Amino acid sequence: METAQLLYPEVRNYIAGNFTSSEAQTLEVISPLDGSMLSTVPLSGQKELDEAVKAAQAAFPKWSAMPIKERVQIFYRYKTLLEQNLEELTELVHRENGKTMGEARAEVEKAIELTEFACSLPQLVAGEILEVSAGVECRLEKKPLGVVASITPFNFPNMVPHWTIPNALALGNCLILKPSEKVPISANRIAELLTEAGLPAGVFNVVNGAQELVEAICDHPDIQAVSFVGSTKVAKIVYRRATSNLKRCVALGGAKNHLIVLPDANVALTAAGVAASMSGCAGQRCMAGSAMVGVGPVDAIIEQIVAEAKKIIPGENLGSVISKEAKERIERYISEAEKSGAKVLVDGRNATVKGKENGYYVGPTIIDFVTPDMAIAQEEVFGPVLAIIRAKTLDEALQIENQSNYGNAASVFTQSGGLARYVIENASAGMIGVNVGVPVPREPFSFGGWNESKFGTCDITGKSSIEFWTQLKKTTTKWNPEAGINWMS
C-alpha cells in the first residue's frame, strides 16, 4: 500500500476553533480510486464529544443573540471561499469518495447553492405579529434550539454536510458534525474555510468517529436535535435512540427508486436519463434510479439504454465504488439475480482499470426480466446496476413501486401529461420526476423522501429545514390602550 505522500496527513477533530489531536484509535482513510492511503481519522468517543458540546454551549449565547442579518454575512464570505477553492474541494471529494471529477465538482457546486439558500434566510424567517384585541398583540418568532448535531454518510462528503451546516448555523444554532469515517477529509477543509470566513470559535465543531460516537450523540443530554443521513438500518437506530432521549430528529435512510417507462416515451431522452440515473456516482446516490419498470412494448428503449450503458467506462466517465466490500456486495446481487433467471444484458462484474488495479470498480450493469420478488428488485444495491422489471399495465407498475419499503424518489418517462399526472398522484415517494431521472428539488424546495427513506416530520433542506432548526416563541403583550393620550399635557 502506498503511504509515501498522504493527501491530508491527519484528519483531526475541530473543537472550540482549534484542530485537536485525539488519543483515540485511528482508522486509515483509503482512496477507492486506487486503494492508496490518503490519511488517518480518529475514532473519537464520549470524551471528545463532551469537549465539543461544551465548546458549542459556550458559543451559543453570543451566536444566537447576533441578528440573523449579521450571521449570514459570514455565509456570504464562506460562499465566496467555496467558489475560490472549488477545484481543491472537488479533488478532495474525487480522491476520498472515488466519484469522477465532474461529479465531485457538481457536488461542491450544490454545496455552494445550499450556502446561497442560507444567505437568503433573513428574507424567510421573519416572525408574525397581530393585534388580537385592543392593546393586546401576539407575536411569534423563530428561535434556535441550542447545540445540535449532524451525522453524514460516505456518498457525498461535501454536499450532505452542507444540507445541515449553513441552515442550522445561520438560524442561530451551534453544530457538531460527525462525518462518515470513510470520507472525513472534506469536513476538515469545510472547518478551515468556515474559520477563514469568520465563524466564531465553538459555533461549528467536527468530531470524527463511528458507531460509538453516533450512540453518544443520540444519548447526550445537551444536544437538542439530531439530523442523520445514511442507510435505513442505521436511520432507524438513530431515530429511535435520539427520540427516546426526547430529542428532535430527522433521519434520512436508503432508497430503491423506480423509473416507470411508458411505451410512448421519447426513446433518446429516456435512455439517456435512465442510464445517467442508474450509473451517476457509480449508483451510490440515494436518488439513483436502480429499478426500471417497463410498461408494455419498451424494447426499443431498452436497446437504447444498453447502447448508452456501453458508453460508460470505469475509470473514465464512471468512478469507483467505495470499498472492496461494496464491490463484492454489488457483484453478489448481480450473480444472484442471474441465477434466479434474470438476463444480464450488460455485465459490469470483474471490472478493472489499468494502472488502478487496487481500486474498486464495477462497470455499468443492465439486467432484464427481473421479477419483483428478487432481492435485486427490493433491496438497495448502491452500485451502477439497473434492474428492469416488465409490467403489462401502468397500474401494475405503480403497484410494484408502491410495494417498496422505501419511498425516496420515483420517476415516469412519458409524453402524456395525463399519465404523468396519474403517476405523480399514485406513486408512494417524496420526490417525483417527470422525464427526469434524478428529481432532486433545487432550493428553496426541500429534500426528503417518504416511508423508510425518512423518519421524522421535516425535510432536511429548503424551507422545511427552517422548522426543524427552530422553535416558536409566542409572546402576548398588553398595554393600556389609553396610555399616552394626555401624556404631554
Candidates 10-18, 249-257, 266-274, 310-318: pick the segment binding ligand NAD (CB under 6 A): 249-257
286: annotated active-site residue: yes
Least distance CB 82 / ligand NAD (angstroms): 20
Binding residue for ligand NAD (CB under 6 A) from 155, 277, 320, 414? 155
Binding residue for ligand NAD (CB under 6 A) from 229, 386, 419, 427? 229
- Torsion angle in degrees (nearest 10) through CA of 267, 272, 278, 279: 150
Could you tell me the strand order of the sheet in which 385-391 lies?
343-346, 365-370, 385-391, 289-295, 257-261, 409-413, 431-434
**Could you say which of 174, 249, 286, 458 is catalytic?**
286
The contact pattern for ligand NAD, residues 52-91, with x = CB under 6 A and - = no contact, is: ----------------------------------------
Binding residue for ligand NAD (CB under 6 A) from 380, 443, 452, 459? 380
Candidates 137-145, 251-259, 389-397, 472-480: pick the segment binding ligand NAD (CB under 6 A): 251-259
Spatial CB neighbours of 295, under 8 Å, sequence gap ≥ 6: 260, 261, 262, 263, 391, 392, 393, 394, 396, 397
The backbone torsions φ and ψ at residue 430, rounded to the nearest 5 degrees and listed phi first, read -80, -25
Binding residue for ligand NAD (CB under 6 A) from 111, 170, 190, 286? 286
| Spatial separation of the C-alpha atoms in residues 291 and 26, rounded to whole Å | 38
Least distance CB 484 / ligand NAD (angstroms): 55
- Give, in order, the Cα–Cα distances in Å from 310 to each of 52, 316, 347: 49, 12, 10
- DSSP for 53-116 reads HHHHHHHHHHHHHS-HHHHHHHHHHHHHHHHHTHHHHHHHHHHHH---HHHHHHHHHHHHHHHH
Binding residue for ligand NAD (CB under 6 A) from 181, 368, 443, 452? 181
Per-state percent for the chain, helix, strand, coil, to nearest 5:
40, 20, 40
Binding residue for ligand NAD (CB under 6 A) from 56, 174, 214, 353? 214
Least distance CB 396 / ligand NAD (angstroms): 26
What residue spans of 363-488 are helical by DSSP H? Answer: 375-378, 394-403, 417-426, 462-469
- 313 to 372, contacts with ligand NAD by CB under 6 A? none
- The tally of CA atoms less than 13 A away on the side-chain side of residue 144 is 25
Least distance CB 336 / ligand NAD (angstroms): 19
Q: Which residue has the cell 428553496?
A: 444
The contact pattern for ligand NAD, residues 424-463, with x = CB under 6 A and - = no contact, is: -------------------------x---x----------
- Residue 257 lies near ligand NAD (rule: CB under 6 A): no
- 398 to 427, contacts with ligand NAD by CB under 6 A? 408
C-alpha 125: how far from chain center? 24
The contact pattern for ligand NAD, residues 288-307, with x = CB under 6 A and - = no contact, is: --------------------
| Spatial separation of the C-alpha atoms in residues 398 and 434, rounded to whole Å | 14
Please identify the residue of the shown chain whose CB is closest to the bound ligand NAD: 230
- Residue 153 lies near ligand NAD (rule: CB under 6 A): yes
Least distance CB 472 / ligand NAD (angstroms): 26
| Spatial separation of the C-alpha atoms in residues 237 and 235, rounded to whole Å | 5
Which residues does the annotation mark as catalytic?
Answer: 286
Q: Applying CB under 6 A, which residues contact ligand NAD?
A: 151-155, 160, 178, 180-181, 210-211, 214, 229-231, 234, 237, 252-255, 286, 380, 382, 408, 449, 453
